[in-house]
Amino acid sequence: MTALVLAVVAGAVVGLALGALGGGGSVLAVPALIYLLDFAPDAATTAALIIVTATSVTALAAHTREGNVAWRTGGLFAAAGIAPAYLTGAVVGDVPEAVLTAAFAVVAALAALRMLRPSRAEPPGGVRPVRAAGAGAGLGAVTGFL
């Protein structure tokens, strides 16, 4: 199978899973890029971020039209994640690829375990900006590292 056909098939599977589950694109895209298309882990992570950004912008446009976007909380989440992502990204250059791949596997496993837990019967009552900022900072640090 050629690399192009393999990339299209893997992209379709990741896209279908992302659409069905509503998230997890990079958790699926990074292993596909590494093990199916022979990307280096750092290149696979960068490519996955671009892929997930493109799909997220598309979803954001659709949710914006429906009025389902909490702009203040989303902006705070994003802003809080920028500095940790940049800082950890700057220091991770000397970390061996095997360590990065193992760290990614741990994050993917934790995400999978979290998804197996039953959801709350009711969604949270209100948006908590401080929690959004903390989550953004933590996710930014993990993203920068991986």
Look up residue 64 and give its two tokens.
């914006």
CA nearest 14: which of 1, 39, 31?
Answer: 31
CA nearest 33: which of 57, 65, 9?
Answer: 9
pLDDT at 133: 64
Torsion of CA 126, 127, 131, 136, to 10 degrees: 150
| pTM (two decimals) | 0.60
**Residues 30-72 pLDDT 10s:** 888 888 888 888 788 888 888 878 877 887 888 889 998 888 8
pLDDT at 144: 64
CA nearest 97: which of 42, 35, 52?
Answer: 42
More confident residue, 136 or 92: 92
Which pLDDT band, with edges at 50, 70 and 90, does 125 fall under? low
